Chains A and B, each alone.
Chain A
Amino acid sequence: MTTTSQTNMNKQSPGRLRAFLAGIGNVDRRWIFLSMALAVGVPILLKLRFPEVPGPMAKATFDAVESIPEGSRVLLSFDYDPASAGELQPMANALVYHCASRHHRIVFMALWPLGKQMADKTIKDVLLEFHHEYKYGVDYVQLGYKAGNEGVIKLMTTNIPGQYPTDADGAALSKMPIVADAADLRAFKFIGSFSAGFPGAKEWVQYAKGNTPDAFKVVGGSTGVQVSQLLPYYPKQMEGLLVAIKGAAEYEMLVTSKYPTSHYADRLEEGRRRMGPQLVAHLLMIGLIVLGNVAMIAGRGMKGGAR
């Protein structure tokens, strides 16, 4: 048996619910900021990790490094700065480790002013940490940053000694066995660009690969926002492509499975470590979008029907 007040309450309930849901749309944005901070911070503190299944792009990148003969000369261009290091440094670390595990001779360079510092960090933390046998000038060299954007690449297709007479510290490259006989980009079997924008992997495809399509393989490492510009080149003009932190995590899985390391293994797990916070943050984003739409629909009803 229901009383009159209970009947009124039941009638009002849908209205209250709708008002509540519509009110969610006006929530203070500081709550959203707090929830995002928790979504990222808690998984980091709990060291939340998930298994990664390597995708076709990560496998193609791995195969590109594996397919060239051991001890090949490779060129790695660090075309990013600290703002994008969160996404690109893990894949750079993994690729350098992979190349060194195959005993490839590595030439480092940068088309971004701060790219050299990024490369130096990888050399110090990964290359020399895991491969003490690597000697400067013989097994690796740092060419550093050169102004000119795509002009640098274009000139390297015909004349490397003219473009780079010295390394980053001013030592003559003609006396370094690793590059003494490198006349142009055809001296390399593999070119990798870790790219956060212009100039980057796209320019390496357009100006280097476009000039000598069969001379070397090109692989790109890209931030998530830039990948749409690179996808048209994969897989024919760009043999491999690592996309954002997921690409780095998948590639790390492949590399460390074949070339395991017993010490400082965490330096080759940065990508996988960052996937936990990314999962929770992405789920939060989806939840927020759904909530925002529920609030919009509820608000429409309150204003007198759908529009």
Chain B
Amino acid sequence: MLRRTIPMLILAASGILLVVAYFSPFTTSWSETVLGWFNVLAAVAFVLGAGNLLAVNLELVSARRAGWAYALITLLSFAAMFVFGLFKIGVVPNPDHPNVYFAGDYESSQSAFGWVYEYIFSPLTSTMFALLAFYVASAAFRAFRAKNIEAILLLSTAFIVLIAQTAGGMFLTGWIPEDSMFAFLRFDWMKVGITEYIQTAGMRAITIGIALGIAATSLRLILGLDKSYLSKN
């Protein structure tokens, strides 16, 4: 009862209320309350996430499984940032309240938390993202092959978009007048044709399909036909 019926009732009531609130202004304040709960739950999920991160990595380290050293680094980093942020290590006192230690801004780069963010976390995440360029280049060289008509179309599209996305497109075909009958040969025009017509049409079809799927799944959840969220089994 407690583990199944009550969660199902909360979900059904919240779902129906949010749908009704879209059409009826009288229930707007109720829907605001439900959305407030949702936002609070989303914030609590961070605590759950932190707990899960600790549990998974502590288990890896204690069992000395493969990659336990990385798990240990994760745990140490987590602990360090937690202490830096919570106790505001090294913060510069707030000029308005110089005698109140906790009034200082923990996000400024003078504090330990801000320093780690500015000089370790931020460059590391940017570096990880930048590494994609190398792997994409290698993958394109080895896997982007014109083996059939579909692959040739994909390759042609990629070439046009790659060139049009730089000044090279204008350099090569920018001299063709925009009002001439050959304007369609300009790379910028071809890119617009591909992205705004072909790609957008496909994306709209996918989006509509996803929306119908979400509506159907939501209805199943609200009506209690889908109970998969209640337990792993």
State A228–B199 Cα separation when bound (angstroms): 7
The reply to whether the CB of A158 lies closer than 8 angstroms to some CB of chain B is yes
Chain B contact residues (Cβ within 8 angstroms of A): what range? 35 or more
With most chain A CB atoms within 10 A of its CB, the pick from B45, B130, B133, B145 is B133
The reply to whether the CB of B78 lies closer than 8 angstroms to some CB of chain A is no
Binary flags per residue of B201-212, CB closer than 8 Å to A gives 1, else 0: 001100100000
B interface: dominant SS: helix
Which residues of A, 262-307, contact B by the 8 Å Cβ criterion? Answer: 275, 278-279, 281-286, 288-289, 291-293, 296
| Chain A residues, CB < 8 A from B134 | 32-33, 36-37
A55 close to B129 (CB less than 8 A): no
Please give the distance in Å from A246's CB to the nearest CB on chain B: 5
The reply to whether the CB of B140 lies closer than 8 angstroms to some CB of chain A is yes
The reply to whether the CB of A101 lies closer than 8 angstroms to some CB of chain B is no
B165 close to A296 (CB less than 8 A): no
| Chain A residues, CB < 8 A from B231 | none
Which residues of A, 17-54, contact B by the 8 Å Cβ criterion? Answer: 25, 29, 32-33, 35-37, 40, 50-53
State A212–B180 Cα separation when bound (angstroms): 41
From A162, which residue of chain B is reached at the shortest CB distance? B32
Task: Enumerate 26 A-B pairs (CB-CB under 8 Å) in ascending A order.
Answer: A32-B134, A53-B174, A53-B188, A82-B122, A82-B123, A82-B125, A83-B126, A85-B126, A86-B129, A117-B117, A117-B122, A148-B43, A155-B36, A158-B31, A162-B32, A227-B195, A231-B195, A231-B196, A232-B200, A244-B165, A278-B165, A279-B166, A282-B163, A282-B165, A293-B145, A296-B146
Beyond contacts A25-B142, A279-B167: 12 other A-B pairs, Cβ-Cβ < 8 A, are A32-B141, A82-B126, A83-B125, A85-B122, A117-B122, A147-B42, A148-B35, A148-B43, A151-B38, A278-B165, A281-B133, A292-B142
